[in-house]
């Protein structure tokens, strides 16, 4: 039997799941319209059942799919180092510190993109949950053999959580229907005796399990916890605690796009505002289909006394009629005349709704503006406009999603010793907090502005130096060039400050030697000319 502390946690989880039911209903409606593959929040699907048989057009689903795929391709492009490790003390990052950070970034990427880690599959699914519902539920941990990372994605209906007073996730509850044999494999002798017996007789029978993550200071067991989180696995059916482990991290990662004040659950601003238009375009499409059918196969009008039997109004059907001697067939059966002039207008309405849905999913703001054949000022204004439009889309993904994802992975690998001895960390950044900077169209636009500002500064300095030569000392060229290059080039391509200083001194020495040789050569030339003049005067005498 579980003690009072675990009973209290189970009751808390039950209350959180009960309070979450209206949110699950909203997610079900969103999924029905935009993500039918995930539409089992309040309903269940059987194998072989169609996902989208209730839809008349897949355009809203296509909009969600394009946005989710855009998150993957633009923020985590495969084959590109899309994240750069930095610290919160950039002024202390010397060349060797940057080399160390870049090397560990490469080690982290190899672990993330290892096939066994399931990183690609998990983040691809999480991107679509982020686009549709505004938040995915993932877990990040070492795999069971502790020789690599493992990433997993969970359905929103199976997880409930609460936030603390600062809006940070404080406790997470996840329901899991686990086969008995899987519990025995994972927890071995820690499972309940009934589960052991079930694993032998009915190994595939599912047992209700709950995984709970709570802060260690809320889980008072009388022992002093080393780490800030406690992971508890509870066999709910048998009221049995199978595992109780202290953790340095909260295991689950729940990034959110936008949150309503007072709620721990986020939402997608794309699907929330597009819901009425998604319903409308379904109705428009249905109406157009019915109108098109009526136009192609209009209903028939017939004189009841002339038709012999039922009318066969299908392809190849024969309807027998009894005509008078001087009567025409059109007098007995004729198609009903209908006005189909509204069909083009209906098509225009459908196209307009599709355009509106694309705008609601930010699909018109994903690409950088065309800067061809434009002045520098026009380019700067276009880039600034792009940054303003794209910021609501990329900033939550970079900070809440990619940032937490990379930081959690880096911390886990650092504790596991994947980056080598701690003593190898350069002294200049030892004790600093690790942060990440990401490559994206938004950052490309910002870097474009930085490079443009540097070019404009050069022109201003050159103009000012023509009036006052001391103006050229205002800007620090080495710092400016390194800042403009930033993360665009690998750190191995750049020389350290010490190497640059040594090469600068060599250049100065070389220039001094050349000036000395030129001076000596000039003096020798003067002496030679004087000698020739003296000889000429002596000859004249």
Say whether pLDDT at 210 is over 90.
yes
First to last CA, the chain: 131
Asked if 209 contacts 197 with a C-beta cutoff of 8 angstroms, the reply is no
The structure's pTM equals: 0.77
In the structure encoding, which two tokens stand for residue 55, read together? 């839809």
Of all helices (H) and strands (E), which one includes residue 12?
A: helix 4-19
To the nearest 5 percent, what fractions of the chain are helix, strand and coil? Answer: 55, 15, 30
Of all helices (H) and strands (E), which one includes residue 173?
A: strand 169-179
Asked if 13 contacts 210 with a C-beta cutoff of 8 angstroms, the reply is yes
Nearest to 404 by CA among 249, 258, 230, 266: 249
Q: How many CB atoms lie within 10 A of CB 251?
A: 17
Cα–Cα distance measured from residue 256 to residue 136, given in angstroms and rounded to the nearest whole number: 8
- pLDDT band, residue 106 (cuts 50/70/90): very high
Residue linked to tokens 């002093």: 224
Handedness of CA 348, 352, 358, 363 (dihedral sign): positive
Say whether pLDDT at 494 is over 90.
no
Average pLDDT, the chain: 82
Side-chain-side CA neighbours of residue 158 (13 Å) = 18
Residues 6+ apart with CB under 8 A from 76: 82, 123, 402
Angle subtended by helix axes 4-19 and 21-34, to nearest 10: 50
Higher pLDDT, 478 or 359: 359
Given this model, what pLDDT does residue 362 score?
A: 87
Higher pLDDT, 524 or 390: 390
The DSSP bridge pattern shows strands 149-154 and 159-163 to be: unpaired
Task: Give the residue-averaged pLDDT of 59-72.
Answer: 92
Given this model, what pLDDT does residue 221 score?
A: 66
In the structure encoding, which two tokens stand for residue 110, read together? 């190899």
Convert the pLDDT of each residue in 122-159 to its tens digit.
Answer: 999 999 999 999 999 999 999 999 999 999 999 999 99
The maximal CA–CA distance of the chain, rounded, in angstroms, is: 152
Higher pLDDT, 8 or 487: 8
Say whether pLDDT at 39 is over 90.
yes
Task: Give the residue-averaged pLDDT of 27-45.
Answer: 93
Cα–Cα distance measured from residue 83 to residue 106, given in angstroms and rounded to the nearest whole number: 10
Given this model, what pLDDT does residue 493 score?
A: 65
Task: Give the residue-averaged pLDDT of 173-196.
Answer: 94
Say whether pLDDT at 381 is over 70.
no
Query: Which range, of 48-52, 65-69, 401-405, averages the lowest pLDDT?
Result: 48-52
Say whether pLDDT at 314 is over 60.
no
Cα–Cα distance measured from residue 214 to residue 445, given in angstroms and rounded to the nearest whole number: 41
Residues 6+ apart with CB under 8 A from 31: 37, 38, 39, 40, 41, 132, 133
């Amino acid at each position: 039997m579980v003690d009072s502390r675990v009973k209290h946690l189970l009751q808390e989880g039950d209350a959180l799941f009960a309070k979450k039911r209206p949110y699950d209903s909203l997610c079900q409606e969103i999924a029905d319209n935009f993500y039918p593959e995930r539409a089992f929040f309040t309903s269940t699907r059987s194998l072989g059942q169609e996902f989208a048989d209730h839809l008349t057009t897949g355009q809203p689903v296509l909009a969600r799919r394009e946005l989710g795929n855009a998150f993957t391709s633009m923020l985590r492009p495969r084959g590109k180092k899309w994240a750069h490790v930095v610290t919160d003390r950039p002024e202390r990052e010397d060349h060797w510190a940057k080399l160390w950070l870049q090397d560990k970034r490469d080690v982290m990427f190899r672990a993330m993109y290892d096939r066994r880690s399931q990183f690609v599959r998990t983040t691809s699914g999480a991107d679509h949950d982020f686009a549709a519902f505004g938040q995915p539920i993932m877990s990040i941990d070492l795999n069971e053999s502790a020789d690599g990372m493992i990433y997993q994605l969970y359905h929103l209906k199976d997880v409930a959580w609460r936030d603390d007073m600062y809006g940070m996730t404080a406790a997470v509850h996840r329901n899991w229907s686990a086969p008995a044999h899987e519990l025995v494999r994972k927890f071995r002798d820690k499972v309940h005796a009934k589960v052991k017996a079930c694993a032998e007789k009915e190994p595939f029978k599912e047992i209700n399990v709950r995984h709970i993550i709570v802060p260690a200071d809320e889980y008072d067991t009388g022992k002093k916890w080393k780490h800030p989180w406690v992971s508890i696995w509870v066999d709910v059916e048998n009221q049995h605690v199978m595992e109780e482990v202290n953790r340095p991290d909260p295991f689950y990662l729940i990034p959110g796009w936008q949150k309503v004040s007072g709620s721990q659950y986020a939402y997608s601003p794309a699907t929330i505002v597009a819901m009425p238009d998604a319903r409308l375009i379904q109705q428009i499409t249905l109406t157009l289909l019915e109108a098109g059918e009526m136009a192609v196969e209009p209903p028939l009008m017939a004189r009841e006394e002339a038709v012999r039997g039922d009318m066969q109004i299908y392809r190849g059907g024969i309807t027998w009629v009894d005509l008078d001697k001087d009567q025409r067939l059109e007098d007995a059966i004729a198609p009903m005349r209908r006005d189909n002039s509204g069909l083009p207008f209906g098509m225009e309405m459908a196209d307009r709704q599709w355009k509106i849905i694309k705008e609601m999913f930010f699909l018109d703001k994903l690409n950088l503006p065309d800067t061809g054949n434009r002045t520098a000022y026009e380019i700067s204004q276009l880039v600034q406009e792009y940054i303003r439009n794209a910021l609501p889309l990329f900033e939550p993904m970079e900070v809440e999603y990619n940032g937490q994802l990379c930081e959690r992975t880096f911390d886990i690998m650092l504790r596991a010793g994947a980056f080598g001895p701690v003593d190898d960390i350069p002294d200049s950044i030892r004790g600093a907090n690790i942060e990440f900077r990401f490559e994206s169209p938004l950052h490309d636009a910002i870097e474009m502005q930085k490079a443009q500002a540097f070019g404009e500064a050069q022109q201003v300095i050159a103009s000012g130096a023509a009036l006052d030569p001391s103006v050229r000392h205002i800007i620090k060229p080495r710092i400016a060039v390194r800042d403009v290059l930033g993360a665009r080039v690998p750190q191995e391509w750049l020389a350290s400050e010490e190497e640059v200083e040594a090469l600068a001194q060599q250049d100065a020495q070389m220039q001094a030697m050349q000036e000395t040789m030129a001076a000596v050569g000039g003096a020798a030339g003067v002496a030679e000319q004087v000698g020739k003049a003296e000889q000429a005067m002596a000859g004249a005498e």
